[in-house]
Chains A and B, each alone.
Chain A
């Protein structure tokens, strides 16, 4: 499988509608499973994607349901295999360093999304897109706790043999 410099293995264009979240997280979760992540990790990667999309819907587009969101996913190989997810939008821009998680000691509804994303993913980076909107890039590496099944190993070989082919969050 090619690295993140190439075209994504999966790309989804979706509207900023909460009812579409389940389709997006299923797509990412299923692909993560094929890459060899265990069940809990797949759930957590899906959760990180879900939280990022929720933030775009709630804060970026302020609950407008006609905003555009682009979700791109790569399977990473080499010395540090894993998954890279990029989420882009055309919503309002914020300074990346203003996107912070809140104090968890303050138990109240909401505001957990950014914290959850950082807890789950190994790399998290926010950028402003050139023209408009934000881009969130997240990486999760396979670890020794990841227990690929025999079927997922087969899938990875299969995908490798066909590898000739070649996103934002708001506080």
Chain B
């Protein structure tokens, strides 16, 4: 994997939740690395995985597919997935793909912890 194919992901634990914060564009190039990162975070999360997208200026359907996959893994393991702080351009793809009502999407991490 090239360095350009890797995405920086910060994470923190808050109560029974893990909050992950990817930084940078999420496209076909970086989606596989993000998938690995989210899979690891999900295993560590006790009950809830929060993905803060504040530092993601762009996402294509490869990124969306990774999040759909993560949502399905969460459901299978009885955990909750919440997305927060979507930028307008990223929110736009969820709306175009009509997935904005499928995911739990809230404004910020505090809401995500309680959603």
- Chain A residues in the interface with B (C-beta under 8 A): 18-19, 21-22, 25, 39-40, 43-44, 46-47, 50-51, 54, 57-58, 104, 107-110, 112-113, 115-116, 119-120
Q: Give every chain B residue within 8 A of A54 (Cβ-Cβ).
A: 27-28, 60-62
For residue B28, give the distance in angstroms from its CB to the closest CB of chain A. 4
The segment out of B14-22, B39-47, B65-73, B104-112 that lies at the interface is: B65-73
Supposing A22-B27, A47-B60 touch, asked if A109 and B65 sit within 8 A by C-beta, the answer is: yes
Residues of A within 8 A of B25 (CB): 22
Instruction: Report the Cα distance A39→B28, complex, angstroms.
Output: 22
Contact, CB under 8 Å: B92 / A44: yes
- State whether B92 touches A40 (Cβ < 8 A): yes
Query: How many A-B pairs fall under 8 Å by CB?
Result: 69
Binds A, one of B48-56, B76-84, B93-101: B93-101
For chain B, which range describes its interface: under 10, 10 to 19, 20 to 34, or 35 or more residues?
A: 20 to 34
Query: Which of B4, B5, B96 has the most A CB atoms < 10 Å from its CB?
Result: B96
Given A18-B5, A116-B97, A40 contacting B68 (CB threshold 8 A): no
Query: B29 contacts which chain A residues (CB < 8 A)?
Result: 18-19, 21-22
Identify which of A22, A46, A57 gathers the most chain B CB atoms within 10 Å of its CB: A22
> Interface of chain A, helix or strand or loop or mixed?
helix
Q: Chain B interface mostly helix, strand, loop or mixed? A: helix
> Would you give 27 A-B contacts (Cβ < 8 Å), ordered by A?
A18-B5, A19-B2, A19-B5, A19-B29, A21-B28, A22-B27, A25-B58, A43-B88, A44-B92, A46-B58, A47-B92, A50-B60, A51-B61, A54-B60, A54-B61, A58-B28, A104-B97, A107-B99, A107-B102, A108-B68, A108-B72, A109-B66, A109-B68, A109-B72, A115-B97, A116-B61, A116-B93
Contact assessment for A109 and B28 in the assembled complex, using a CB-CB cutoff below 8 Å:
no
* Cβ contacts under 8 Å, B97 to chain A: 104, 112, 115-116
**Cα of A51 to Cα of B65 in the assembled complex, Å:** 12
A44 CA to B72 CA, complexed, in Å: 27
* CB-based nearest B residue for A107: B102
Query: A40 near B89 (CB under 8 angstroms)?
Result: yes
Q: What is the distance, in angstroms, from A77's C-beta to the closest C-beta of chain B?
A: 27
